Amino acid sequence: MNHTETLSDLRDFTQKASHYLDRAFSGIALFAVHEVGTLRGHWADVDIRLKVARRARGAGELIRDQIDLLPESRNRVMRDQRVRRELWRGAVKDMSAQVSENKT
Protein backbone atom coordinates (compact mmCIF):
# COMPACT_ATOMS: atom_id res chain seq x y z
CA MET A 1 0.00 0.00 0.00
CA ASN A 2 1.50 3.31 -1.00
CA HIS A 3 1.20 6.75 0.51
CA THR A 4 -1.60 7.89 -1.85
CA GLU A 5 -3.78 4.87 -1.05
CA THR A 6 -3.27 5.40 2.67
CA LEU A 7 -4.36 9.05 2.42
CA SER A 8 -7.37 8.03 0.34
CA ASP A 9 -8.34 5.37 2.89
CA LEU A 10 -7.91 7.86 5.71
CA ARG A 11 -10.12 10.39 3.89
CA ASP A 12 -12.79 7.71 3.36
CA PHE A 13 -12.67 6.71 7.01
CA THR A 14 -12.87 10.33 8.15
CA GLN A 15 -15.84 10.99 5.86
CA LYS A 16 -17.71 7.91 7.11
CA ALA A 17 -16.93 8.64 10.76
CA SER A 18 -18.10 12.23 10.33
CA HIS A 19 -21.30 11.05 8.68
CA TYR A 20 -22.08 8.56 11.47
CA LEU A 21 -21.30 11.14 14.16
CA ASP A 22 -23.63 13.59 12.44
CA ARG A 23 -26.37 10.92 12.41
CA ALA A 24 -25.77 10.12 16.08
CA PHE A 25 -25.87 13.76 17.19
CA SER A 26 -29.00 14.41 15.13
CA GLY A 27 -30.69 11.44 16.78
CA ILE A 28 -29.66 12.60 20.24
CA ALA A 29 -31.02 16.07 19.51
CA LEU A 30 -34.37 14.63 18.40
CA PHE A 31 -34.59 12.53 21.56
CA ALA A 32 -33.76 15.53 23.72
CA VAL A 33 -36.42 17.69 22.08
CA HIS A 34 -39.00 14.92 22.50
CA GLU A 35 -38.12 14.32 26.15
CA VAL A 36 -38.32 18.03 26.97
CA GLY A 37 -41.79 18.08 25.41
CA THR A 38 -42.72 14.99 27.40
CA LEU A 39 -41.59 16.62 30.64
CA ARG A 40 -43.61 19.72 29.82
CA GLY A 41 -46.64 17.48 29.34
CA HIS A 42 -46.08 15.80 32.70
CA TRP A 43 -45.77 19.16 34.45
CA ALA A 44 -48.90 20.43 32.70
CA ASP A 45 -50.75 17.33 33.95
CA VAL A 46 -49.55 17.95 37.50
CA ASP A 47 -50.64 21.59 37.26
CA ILE A 48 -54.12 20.64 36.02
CA ARG A 49 -54.49 18.01 38.73
CA LEU A 50 -53.52 20.50 41.44
CA LYS A 51 -55.97 23.12 40.11
CA VAL A 52 -58.76 20.55 40.03
CA ALA A 53 -57.84 19.32 43.52
CA ARG A 54 -58.00 22.86 44.93
CA ARG A 55 -61.53 23.30 43.58
CA ALA A 56 -62.81 20.03 45.06
CA ARG A 57 -65.28 20.50 47.91
CA GLY A 58 -64.75 17.07 49.43
CA ALA A 59 -62.82 13.82 49.22
CA GLY A 60 -65.41 12.18 46.96
CA GLU A 61 -65.31 15.03 44.46
CA LEU A 62 -61.51 15.07 44.60
CA ILE A 63 -61.26 11.36 43.80
CA ARG A 64 -63.92 11.54 41.07
CA ASP A 65 -62.24 14.53 39.39
CA GLN A 66 -58.81 12.89 39.51
CA ILE A 67 -60.21 9.66 38.03
CA ASP A 68 -61.85 11.71 35.27
CA LEU A 69 -58.40 13.03 34.30
CA LEU A 70 -56.85 9.54 33.96
CA PRO A 71 -57.84 8.82 30.32
CA GLU A 72 -56.28 12.07 29.09
CA SER A 73 -53.07 11.37 31.00
CA ARG A 74 -52.97 7.77 29.78
CA ASN A 75 -53.45 8.88 26.17
CA ARG A 76 -50.64 11.42 26.45
CA VAL A 77 -48.27 8.83 27.94
CA MET A 78 -49.16 6.31 25.24
CA ARG A 79 -48.62 8.94 22.52
CA ASP A 80 -45.23 9.84 24.03
CA GLN A 81 -44.22 6.17 24.10
CA ARG A 82 -45.32 5.71 20.49
CA VAL A 83 -43.25 8.70 19.39
CA ARG A 84 -40.28 7.44 21.43
CA ARG A 85 -40.49 4.02 19.72
CA GLU A 86 -40.57 5.69 16.30
CA LEU A 87 -37.54 7.80 17.21
CA TRP A 88 -35.65 4.65 18.24
CA ARG A 89 -36.62 2.91 14.99
CA GLY A 90 -35.44 5.90 13.00
CA ALA A 91 -32.18 6.10 14.93
CA VAL A 92 -31.46 2.40 14.36
CA LYS A 93 -32.31 2.75 10.68
CA ASP A 94 -30.07 5.83 10.32
CA MET A 95 -27.14 4.20 12.10
CA SER A 96 -27.41 0.94 10.19
CA ALA A 97 -27.67 2.56 6.75
CA GLN A 98 -24.54 2.42 4.66
CA VAL A 99 -22.63 5.62 4.07
CA SER A 100 -22.54 6.52 0.40
CA GLU A 101 -19.22 5.87 -1.32
CA ASN A 102 -19.61 9.03 -3.43
CA LYS A 103 -16.88 11.57 -2.88
CA THR A 104 -18.08 15.09 -2.16
65-94 tens-digit pLDDT: 999 999 999 999 999 999 999 999 998 888
Residue 98 has pLDDT above 50, yes or no: yes
Q: What is the pLDDT of residue 104?
A: 45
pLDDT for 25 beyond 80:
yes
Task: State whether residue 33 is helix, strand or coil.
Answer: helix
pLDDT above 80 (res 100)? no
Q: pLDDT class for 101, splitting at 50, 70, 90? A: low
Please tell me the distance from the alpha carbon of residue 32 to that of residue 41, in angstroms, as a whole number: 14
Distance, in Å, from the CA atom of 65 to the CA atom of 63, rounded to the nearest integer, reads: 6
In angstroms, the CA 29 to CA 68 distance is 35
Mean pLDDT, residues 19-26 taken together: 88
58: left (phi over 0), alpha (psi -120 to 50) or beta: beta
- Could you read off the pLDDT of 26-53 as tens digits, one per residue? 989 999 999 999 999 999 999 999 999 9
pLDDT reading at 103 higher than 50: no
Q: Is 67 exposed, middle or buried (0-12, 13-18, 19+ CB in 10 A)?
A: exposed
Burial class for 10, CB neighbours closer than 10 Å (0-12, 13-18, 19+): exposed
